[in-house]
A = this chain, B = another copy of it.
């Protein structure tokens, strides 16, 4: 196959490789899946390596149902009928609500409530609080730590019925919507007005705006637009006792009192249910570029990052790295030729976005030419135009699915100091191999390989342990090892996925005793009856 690379064109303009790449590379037909599509392909029948969802209560027998919570009765259902229309009270076919997207957790809820406005959410919580009925708030149910599904028989309060855009100010870029608006719908709406939602992630086709706020999702645009703690301007929240905190402000600056909304950003539905969001959206960049590069060491990844921050400055909008194994798994899964002909130890995806295509092209070309001349990068392609851009992104975005394709995947989402970021992947592979649990070829071993990729710009590593099957042995080998490793480097055991059910007991690896005391104290302060999202978070 004819391939063009920076190496081949070092003395010409790097830009000239673009048209060549897009013409000759068959990957242009790979479509980046979103979670909606992936969810639809879930196969619940036995297919050899596919993993069957088991009840969380069976998988974790030490976690017991708290007898403080009342069992659901017909009387309760009758009461809910006075609040909600019949179609908003669901009692059959609840698998899609009880199971998480990873199919790692499965609850046993017998009731899903789908309120369509804030008053209904308030009435439901007021009643549940009095009746001591436990409640799990659920958005798009795309979380990865079992936070959005019940553990036992908690009532599921789905926000999917609250899906209206409330307002948009074209001068300031301030957007207000119900919590249940799907992220992609919000972004498409904003695109029509020349604005962009300041957050993007793989699950955008399913996840809710309220859900990303409640979990403080990070995603792909954090490097450029910062965290939700900075961009969310106001929230409407229903407290566990049914009180409504209407703090849906549309002011970029407001220094009158403690910033209450911040408590709910990342609270994972444990002290209130977010029902409305006000968020500041930046102007949509008119020019996008993606470069896909090969480098030979993790040290080179860091050098390219420092250089990119300096030279691409304000137009740098993503800096992702991927290791070789993650790309090998992806290649095997999507069955397409890779963007670069030869294999490299590490790959980097750089995205720029700005207001002038001409200027951005010039900056990126100059940056790449110099990096190639300096010998920091070995090979690379630039893709311009939307299709090529999505095709290159696919090699990053397909990793989660590819890691899971041979059976399952243990996913860890951690923050580490940049210099230590990749050492966790190396240490994990070493540990799994020494334990005799891992082999890329020997199919009798449960583990295929640990792979690493993630948002270098945010110090955020995704460690995916691709397995043929989930076993207790593998789990014991990984935990608490991964958390201990992260703790020893003063990292976070959950960079962006949250605590949920999976990490409830591990918060001590990141937070100290005083912090944990204060977090617990806030939980008890706002949710005295502890009805919201029990068995999780803290």
Contact = CB atoms under 8 A, between A and B. Distances in A.
Interface string A168-202: 01111100000000000000000000100000000
A171 B302 contact: yes
Interface string A348-389: 000001111001001100000000000000000000000000
Interface residues of A, number: 90
Nearest to A537: B257
A306 B171 contact: yes
A492 B267 contact: no
Nearest to A354: B314
A313 B262 CA distance: 28
A64 interface: no
A495 B251 contact: yes
A341 to B, nearest CB: 31
Interface string A221-237: 01000110111000000
A494 B522 CA distance: 27
A311 interface: yes
B254 A415 contact: yes
B310 A259 contact: no
A218 interface: yes
26 contacts: A172-B418, A216-B255, A218-B253, A218-B255, A222-B252, A226-B231, A229-B262, A245-B515, A252-B458, A253-B496, A255-B492, A256-B492, A258-B519, A259-B266, A260-B515, A260-B519, A262-B262, A262-B265, A283-B310, A283-B313, A285-B314, A286-B313, A310-B355, A315-B355, A359-B362, A359-B363
Interface of A: 169-173, 194, 215-216, 218, 222, 226-227, 229-231, 243-247, 249-260, 262-263, 265-267, 271, 283, 285-286, 302, 305-306, 309-315, 353-356, 359, 362-363, 415, 417-419, 455, 458-460, 490-499, 503, 507, 510-512, 514-516, 518-519, 522, 525, 537-538
Given A356-B363, A359-B363, 4 more contacts: A171-B419, A216-B255, A258-B263, A359-B359
